[in-house]
Amino acid sequence: MLRRLSITALTAAVVLPPLSPSPATAETGQPAAALAPGALGANFNQNLDALDYDELAEAGVTWVRGFFPMPAADDGAPAAHVAIRTVTQTSGHGYKTILSLKFPYNAKSFPAPGSAQMKAELARVDKVLPAVMGKADILTIGNEPFIESLPAERDQRLNVFYETVARRVIEFRKNRCGASCRTQLYMGALNRIDLAERRTPAAARWMTFVRETAAIQGVDIHPHVPGPRAAQAFLDYILPKMRPGQTFLATEFSLTPLWRQHMTDPAPAAFRTKYGLAPDTKVWQVVKAAIDKPFPEAKWAEFLRGCPWFANHSAFLRNFMSMYRGTGRLAVATYAFKQDSLMVQNWGPGKDPWLLNSVYARHTVQPRGQLPGRSPWFADFRALQAG
């Protein structure tokens, strides 16, 4: 068997009306304890084709997460798509899996209820569900709805759309495998809910739907934040709005907004001196040099730990996981596992530095034989697998 999965990708604030009742509110999911171990897993987003079993083993991973872009259901059998096929194969190898259904409506309006467009979207859902229900351990309805939508439509239109989809998923789950179904359902995911302007009536209604729909186990959050206080604000917002026994996911989280603030800072002076760099060399330029010619692992770590804004948060993974686990309500968190090509394309001072988060720094660190170079996060990520 090949070590790598050899798969090719197919590639406003308003007053809201009351929630309409869910037709499946009598259905309950599995007990929260069944999938609430406070695990830390590997997040691949759209890059599940990059999954490698040797890397998962080295890092001690037991949970894997990615997303499926719903328009891809028009391109062929969803079961053959890289995301769903990888989730199914990985599950067959004994890993726990999370799949988020991504509905990209950031360039067009949500379909109106009962419209031909809505019927077409539900037909996509009907094509996807047989390939994942009872196979993935967690199915998240939505990826980042308050980003993957038109800004003017982040109101009741967003809620109506996702509630309609959720009811379709709940009904399918009920008919396919009932209350004992392996696949638990979450609604996802909330972004920057630490900011007052993001705590809108639509966000409140999102949480009301989560709480009042018995078949929904909880909510997903994506705390990409500038510091731990902002991450705590996510928990302060969601936990009081959930019913007892519900849990949450954190399938993406990082300090990317903090890293972004420092890309044009001077590179560390000691690092510049040691490696003969010009006095005016900036952080982003050192990263560019590593992209162009990957550093040895120790040099990449030396560079990052020489940056005070990075070194001061060297315990980020441990601190955030302690925060999440300390609630007693974390089901699973997943963290950026591998740098991907989109992170390094057109690199410059204005590009979001997602590449600084990954456990494996395959685009900025030299490989170690068949295994990619590791980032400074690797040791904590590996240690946190044990809880």
pLDDT at res. 180? 82
Residues 270/271/272/275 CA torsion (nearest 10 deg): 120
The class level of CATH for 32-261+314-337 reads alpha beta
Q: Hey, what are 251's tokens?
A: 């399938």
Q: How high is the mean pLDDT in each 10-residue block of the chain (387 residues)?
A: 33 35 39 62 97 98 98 97 97 96 98 96 98 97 98 98 98 90 96 97 98 97 97 98 97 98 98 98 98 98 98 97 97 98 96 98 97 98 90
CA nearest to 190, candidates 174, 205, 180, 168: 205
> What amino acid occupies position 107?
A
d(CA 228, CA 213): 30
d(CA 210, CA 214): 8
Residues 66/167/218/140 CA torsion (nearest 10 deg): 0
Q: Hey, what are 213's tokens?
A: 């729909």
Indicate the SS3 state at residue 140: strand
pTM of the predicted structure, to 2 decimals: 0.91
The strand pairing partners of 149, in sequence order, are 105
CA nearest to 9, candidates 56, 48, 52, 43: 48
126, 168 in Cβ contact below 8 A? yes
Q: How far is the CA of 179 from the CAs of 2, 127, 174, 330, in angstroms? A: 37, 21, 7, 21
Spell out the domain ranges in the chain. 32-261+314-337, 263-306+342-387
**272 CB burial (10 A radius; 0-12, 13-18, 19+):** middle
Q: Hey, what are 77's tokens?
A: 């059998």
The DSSP annotation for 235-283 comes to HHHHGGGSPTT-EEEE---B-HHHHHTTTTSBPPHHHHHHTT--TT-BH
pLDDT at res. 178? 81
CA nearest to 7, candidates 74, 71, 66: 66
Q: How far is the CA of 173 from the CAs of 135, 191, 310, 374, in angstroms? A: 12, 27, 44, 40
